[in-house]
Every structure is written in structure tokens, then in C-alpha cells.
Amino acid sequence: MNVSDTVVRNLHQHLVQIAEMKTQIERGPRQVKAAILQVDNAKDALLKCKEAIKQKKMDADRKQLQLREREAKVHDWEGKMNLAKNNREFQAIKEQIAADTQANSVLSDEILEILEEIDSLQIAMRGFEEKLKLIEAERVKTESAVTGKLAVLNIELERVEGNLAGLEKQLLPEFLVQYKRLVSNRSEDSMAALDDVSCGGCYTGLPPRILDSLRKEQAIVCPSCGRLLYRPER
């Protein structure tokens, strides 16, 4: 069955172009999804930081309350010192005051440490906020770029598919059957240009009878990989 190189080459070019466009179209939503995931991760990190600050503040408040209560207690003991009935009682109160004062000092240190941790966390939080802003801006940019690109690609895809349909209409019925069978199985991978004397699809050297058929512009497939062969543009 005769078919010109130009026809097969043209069909193949269209199929390759369509496949490339479809790949790009599929990539779009994946890019958007990845950008959204980055935003989610940044939000998550910020939220965790804020939560940690909240916990530390609660911790500091609780300890501060405890400290005030104990300080009041020390004050009470100090009042009772003058009312001590004897030296033993006086000594006992004095020891109690010393113990509570020591405990308060430890508590004060702990509070100070927590406040310092809160300071560090707040610096980190501002970093997370900045990062989130950048990532969010990046997401908006990606989404708008993808939307624009998809619009162009879809129009272009429709155009090339229309052109291909036009080419297919012109094929001889006999060849059309063979072509449809090949394309339905392997799509754009169903054809290959000749590479010198080898198949450009599987790189196997072709026997002279195949090369001869190609010269006679006969529809012929590579005996090795089954791709429909055509001679490249000269």
C-alpha cells in the first residue's frame, strides 16, 4: 500500500506535538498542587510556633501566680516572727522563711528562662510569617502562570487536533485502518523516522528490502519494533 513520506511524517509530527502538549497540560495542576502544599507546610510551621508561644505564656503565668502566692506567704511568716512565743518557734519561722525565699528564687529563674524562650519563639514566628508571605505570593504567581499557560495550550491542542483530523480524512481507507490500529495502541510512539539505515525508534539496522519499500513510498513497519517507518525530511 502506497503512502508518501510527507504524509506519514506529517501525521507523526502532529501526534508528537499533541503528546507534548498533553504532558504539559497534565503538569499544570501538579505544579499548582505542589505550590499549595508548600503554603500548607508554611502555615503549619507558623501555627505550631504560635501554639508553642501560647503554651509557654500559660506556663509563665502559672509560675508567676505561684511566685506571688509564695511571696505573700513569706510576708506572712515575717509578720509572725515578732509574735513568736519562744526562741524555738522564732528559729522555726526563720528557717521556713529561708526555705521559701530559696524556692522563690528558683521559681524566678525558671520564669526568666521561659520569658527568654518566648522571646526566641517570637523571633522565629516572625521568620515563619515572612516565609509564609513569600510562599503564598509564589503560589499566586504559579497559579496565574499555570492558568494562562493552560488556556494557551488548550487552544493550541484543539487547533493541532483539528489539523490532525483533517490529515486523517485525506488518508486512503486501507492505510487509515492500519494507521488507526497503530495509533490506538502506541499513540505517537507508533511511528519512527529512518535514521540513516536504522529505525529511529529502536535503532535496529534495517534490511535492504525494507529500505527499498521506503524508497517506493510503501507503508512499512520496522520488523524489530513494529513502528511505521518514514524517511526524514531531506
- Give the residues lining the site for Zn ion (CB under 5 A): 199, 201-202, 222, 224-225
Q: How far is CA 222 from CA 9, 92, 208, 210, 227, in A?
A: 15, 106, 12, 8, 5
Nearer to Zn ion, 111 or 229 (CB): 229
Rounded least distance, CB 172 to Zn ion, Å: 24
Closest CA to 60 of 108, 111, 104: 111
For residues 93 and 221, give the distance between their C-alpha atoms in angstroms, rounded to a whole number.
Answer: 107
Q: How far is the CB of 173 from Zn ion (least distance, A)?
A: 26
Please say which residue, 21 or 222, places its beta carbon nearer to Zn ion.
222
Q: Which is nearer to Zn ion, 108 or 198 (CB)?
A: 198
Compare residues 91 and 204 and give the one whose CB is closer to Zn ion. 204
d(CA 223, CA 210): 9
Instruction: State the nearest-atom distance from the C-beta of 200 to Zn ion, in Å.
Output: 8
Shortest reach from residue 207's CB to Zn ion, in Å: 12
Burial class (CB within 10 angstroms; exposed 0-12, middle 13-18, buried 19+) of 186: middle
